[in-house]
């Protein structure tokens, strides 16, 4: 095994660990909740990770196909796509006011059951917030 392969593997492990710290904290919350089934949390973690890997692999294949189809000079312009999307949504954000008569925008999220709850936690940091 060459040194460059070892260093690349070490960097990959470090990047994976550093990007999953929040995920580990959410898993700790699930394991601390006495109502959560441990098997469901573990299954949800693996299913969620598998979905992320499959989506990332699909996006990488799509990016490779686009890189072969699009001339090299145009690839740099793809960075403008998120900017244009954000600018298109900006007027809608300015138009929304916090009107007291309409109430809060974020309605309570119904509880999720089974292994899907650990894989996709819906942005809530604790199961008690799902009520």
Q: Is residue 121 part of a domain?
A: yes
Task: Report how far residue 88's alpha carbon sits from residue 86's, in angstroms, rounded to the nearest whole number.
Answer: 5
Q: What is residue 128's predicted lDDT score, i.e. its pLDDT? A: 52
- Asked whether residue 102 is assigned to any structural domain, the reply reads no
Q: Among 6-15, 75-84, 116-125, which is the least confidently predicted range?
A: 116-125
Neighbours of 44 (CB within 10 A): 23
pLDDT of residue 43: 92
In a domain, 86, yes or no: no
Domain extent for 126: 3-74+110-130
Q: Cα–Cα distance between 131 and 123 in angstroms, integer?
A: 13
Q: How many domains does the chain have?
A: 1
C-alpha to C-alpha distance for 120 and 52, rounded to whole angstroms: 11
Percent of all residues in the chain with a pLDDT value above 70, rounded to a whole number: 70
Q: Determine if residue 63 is left, alpha or beta; phi over 0 gives left, psi from -120 to 50 gives alpha, anything else beta.
A: alpha
Per-residue pLDDT tens over the stretch 10-54: 898 998 888 888 888 888 999 998 898 999 999 998 998 899 899
Phi-psi region of 123 (alpha: psi -120 to 50; beta: other; left: phi over 0): left
Confidence of residue 93 (pLDDT cuts 50, 70, 90): confident
Q: How many angstroms separate the first and last alpha carbons of the chain?
A: 52
Average of per-residue pLDDT across 67-96: 84
Per the domain annotation, does 83 fall within a domain? no
């Amino acid at each position: 095994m060459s040194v460059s392969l070892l260093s690349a593997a070490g960097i990959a492990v470090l990047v994976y660990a550093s990007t999953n710290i929040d995920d580990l904290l959410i898993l700790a919350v699930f394991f601390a909740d006495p109502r959560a089934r441990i098997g469901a949390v573990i299954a949800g973690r693996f299913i969620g990770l598998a979905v992320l890997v499959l989506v990332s692999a699909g996006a990488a294949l799509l990016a490779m196909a686009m890189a072969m189809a699009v001339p090299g000079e145009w690839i740099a312009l793809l960075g403008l796509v998120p900017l244009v999307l954000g600018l298109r949504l900006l007027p809608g954000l300015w138009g929304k006011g916090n009107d007291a008569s309409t109430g809060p925008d974020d309605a309570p999220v119904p509880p999720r059951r089974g292994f899907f709850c650990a894989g996709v936690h819906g942005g809530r940091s604790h199961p008690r917030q799902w009520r």
